[in-house]
A = this chain, B = another copy of it.
Amino acid sequence: MTSSSTDTPAPVLVLVPGAAGAPADGSDPFHIADATAPQLSITDLVVTRGDGIFETIGAFDGTPINVGPHLARLARSASLLGLPAPDQEAIAAAVDASIEAHADVPELTIRVMYTRGIEGNGVPTCWIDAHVSDDWAPYRAGIRVATLDRGLATTVFEESPWLLQGAKTLSYAVNMAAVREAKSRGAQDALFVATDGYVLEGPTSTLLVRRGDAYLTTPVSAGVLPGTCVGSLFEALQKEGHEAREQLMSVEDVATSDGAWLLSSTRLAAPITHLDDVELPVDPELTAHFEAILTGRV
Contact = CB atoms under 8 A, between A and B. Distances in A.
A171 interface: yes
Interface in A132-182: 148-153, 156, 159-165, 167, 169-178, 180-181
B177 A173 contact: no
Nearest to A203: B162
A212 interface: no
A214 interface: no
A189 interface: no
Given A47-B113, A51-B176, A162-B180, 20 more contacts: A13-B42, A38-B38, A38-B39, A38-B41, A39-B42, A40-B42, A42-B113, A48-B54, A49-B172, A50-B171, A51-B172, A81-B173, A81-B177, A148-B162, A149-B163, A151-B156, A152-B152, A162-B177, A164-B174, A171-B173
Interface string A25-61: 0000000000101111111111111111010000000
A201 interface: no
B170 A49 contact: yes
Interface of A: 13, 35, 37-52, 54, 81-82, 111, 113, 127, 129, 148-153, 156, 159-165, 167, 169-178, 180-181, 195
A53 to B, nearest CB: 9
Interface centre among A151, A164, A173, A180 (most CB of B within 10 A): A173
A217 to B, nearest CB: 22
Nearest to A163: B151
Contacts of A159: 149
A49 to B, nearest CB: 4
A174 B162 contact: yes
Contacts of A13: 42
Contacts of A150: 163
A54 B48 CA distance: 9
Contacts of A156: 149, 151
19 contacts: A13-B42, A38-B39, A40-B41, A40-B42, A46-B50, A47-B113, A48-B54, A49-B170, A49-B176, A50-B50, A50-B171, A51-B173, A148-B160, A151-B152, A151-B163, A170-B171, A171-B171, A171-B172, A171-B174
Contacts of A52: 173
Nearest to A179: B162
Interface centre among A42, A45, A160 (most CB of B within 10 A): A42
Nearest to A115: B47
Contacts of A45: 176
Contacts of A129: 42-43
A150 to B, nearest CB: 8
Contacts of A151: 151-153, 156, 160, 163, 165
